[in-house]
Structure 1
Amino acid sequence: MDYVIPKELVDASIKAGETKARLSVKDLLIRGFYSGLALGVATTLAVTVAVQSGLPFLGALLFPWGFASIVLFGMELVTGNFALMTSAMLARRVRFGRVINNWLWVYIGNFLGCLFVALLMGFSLTNGGTADPSPVGEKIMEIALSKTVAVKEMGTNGFFLFIVRGIFCNFLVCLAVMMGMVSKSVPGKFMGCWFPIFAFVTLGLEHIVVNMFFILTGMVLGAPISGMDMVFWDFLPVTIGNIIGGGIFIGALLYSTHYTKSQGLPQMAMEESMKNPVLR
């Protein structure tokens, strides 16, 4: 059957977390870079379609192809890893230090991928630097300001608003990760992950990697955004929210209700895996 039952799904997510814990820094950076690159291009496509058609719905409908490619190619997206690594840690298959190591290097790789796309898109959207930003570029700048300067102007309310939007966003994103793992076929994986991603974009929620692209591109195009605006008023609250949404409401929740010790390694094998310095 092209269906993975919940208990097997949780076991698969734990094994995925174990595999990710063993990846080298090089692989985490390369795979993270791809994910930032893919989401940056997908975001530009979504904004372009929304501006040209006047229907943001259409842009949101097309955006998930970037995420689907990450799932199919086995790349690294920090938001999805917030759930998968949490499951592996709760099952005592990966040490907390390895979880943080994975999150940190994938976060950096995602950022570098977004920066690369931002620089190229900034060049493209200004006709090689010879013209003012195109309508698509202006829209990206507007969105970037709404995710930084506008949040700062709201103060504490804005900070906590972005935490909340980050929670809901990564609940949907990690739901997409799990639904992509529920099926073993390519069409099933596409369909499984497509709609939760479409939902988060349509609802205007906050995803740290997508925000990296928006803000970096906005800055490249000339939006008056400072480093503090970017890091404190967006990256920090959105990252906190994404960790909670993915780690607690998907990773920990599914683990707590569907995982049993009999699913995992035998106790002796589990103890041996815990001794493996790669996973510490």
Structure 2
Amino acid sequence: MSYQSPYEIIAKGAESGRYRMSLPAWNILLRGGMAGAYIGMGAALMIIVSTGVATSLGKGMEQFIMGLVFPLGLILIVLTGAELFTGDAMLAPFAAFSYKCSWLAVFRLWILSYAGNIIGALGFAYLVTSGVLLQSGPDGIVANQYAVSMVTFAAEHCSYPGIFGILSCFLKAIAAGWLLNLAVLLGICADDAIGKIVGIWFPAMAMVSTGFEHAITNACLIPAGLMAAPSLTFMQVAQVGPLAANLSWSAFFLNNLIPASVGNLVGGLVFSGLLLWVAFQKEIFR
């Protein structure tokens, strides 16, 4: 299993960022849509497999099991070459620092990949809601226990009240962007598929198990919860608890998606990108 040195990883990351910025807009959007859907696949899986775990094994084990399966989405993205905004927050600046690329090109990549991610995440949220969370019964469309878990997740992640709540979401998102980009770097570190998968898995698992905020994950799971919520029975709403009252599209955008997106960008740009480039720039250019 071959291994790249830290400065070689950064150099390869910079080359990857420069290549991504050279892609036409439609291609970035297409790859971004694929990445949003792939993240949704891993995110939906973590909700399904963790349903009921907290009752029997405790909240910590629930979070750990969610973390075990979530990396599926990031593995699919790295190995298939899809375009994830969170990773571009680090790779595009690497290219700008190393090759003096235009920052206008960096912003273009960020905007297009983010838009594609949101479209792909929302599209997969609709598939999960209509195909997994809601079922046809004798009394019409009914929500199952997976829907209760999804709505619970969505309600919890919309419950960041006031300025300090939003600050908490922002700080969690910085940590998420940092960890996820370390996963991307470890994926670059190895040359074989097994090495890439192992490298990606540990930081991505830690990100979810710790409860950090990843905007593209939330862009799939919270809308899925919002779409499933109207079909919940009174007893199912009671299972979600009082936080169900916080679930709304406006809370999704203002209390989660916006601060989480900015935090992910800061985590990738500053903590995974700028710090590493400053630390190893002499080795890169020697």
Contact kept? 1:33, 1:113, Cα under 8 Å: yes
1:147 corresponds to 2:154: no
- Superposed displacement of residue 128, structure 1: 4.8
- Structure 2: how far apart are the matches of 1:261 and 1:63? 34
Partner of 1:134: 144
Query: For 1:132 and 1:161, how far apart are their aligned partners in 2?
Result: 35
Q: Quote how far apart the aligned CAs of 1:43 are.
A: 1.1
**How high is the TM-score relative to the length of structure 1?**
0.88
Which of 57, 78, 82 in structure 1 is aligned with 2:85? 78
Report deviation, 1:82. Answer: 0.4
- Matched residue, 2:68: 61
* Counterpart for residue 49 of structure 1: 49
Q: Does residue 122 of structure 1 match 2:132?
A: no
Deviations 1:196-253 (A, max 9, x none): 0000110010001001011111121136744322222111111111111111001111
Query: What is the match of residue 268 of structure 1?
Result: none
Equivalent position of 2:197 in the other structure? 190
Q: Name which of 260, 263, 266 aligns with 1:238.
A: 260
The number of residues matched between the two structures is 261
Runs of at least 5 residues in structure 2 that lack an aligned partner in the other structure: 55-60, 231-244
* Structure 1 contact 215–230 (Cα < 8 Å) conserved: yes
- Note if 1:215 corresponds to 2:222: yes
Letter in 2 for 1:234: N
Q: 36-45 vs 204-213, which deviates more?
A: 36-45
Of 15-24 and 119-128, the range deviating more from structure 2: 119-128
Match of 1:228 among 242, 245, 250: 250
* Alignment of 1:95 onto 2:105: no
Change over 3 Å in CA distance of 1:64–1:262 after alignment to 2:
closer
TM-score by length of 2: 0.86
**Closer, same or farther: CA 193–118 of 1 in aligned 2, 3 Å:** same
How many percent of aligned residue pairs carry the same amino acid? 28
Mapped pair 1:11 → 2:18: no
Q: Aligned match of 2:272 in 247, 250, 257?
A: 250
Which secondary structure does the structure 2 equivalent of 1:159 belong to? helix
| Alignment pair present for 1:163 and 2:170 | yes
Checking the alignment, whether the CA contact within 8 Å between 2:11 and 2:284 is kept in structure 1 is no
Q: What is the rounded CA distance, in whole Å, between the counterparts of 1:192 and 1:261 in structure 2? A: 23
CA separation in 2, counterparts of 1:128 and 1:185? 45
Give 1:132 shift. 2.7
Letter in 2 for 1:195: F
Measure the CA separation in 1 of the matches of 2:202 and 2:3: 18
Given that 1:17 and 1:94 are in contact with CA atoms closer than 8 Å, whether structure 2 keeps it comes out as no
For each residue in 1:52-99, what CA deviation from the matched residue of structure 2 results, as whole angstroms up to 9, or x when unmatched?
Answer: 544422232111122111101111000011011121122243211111
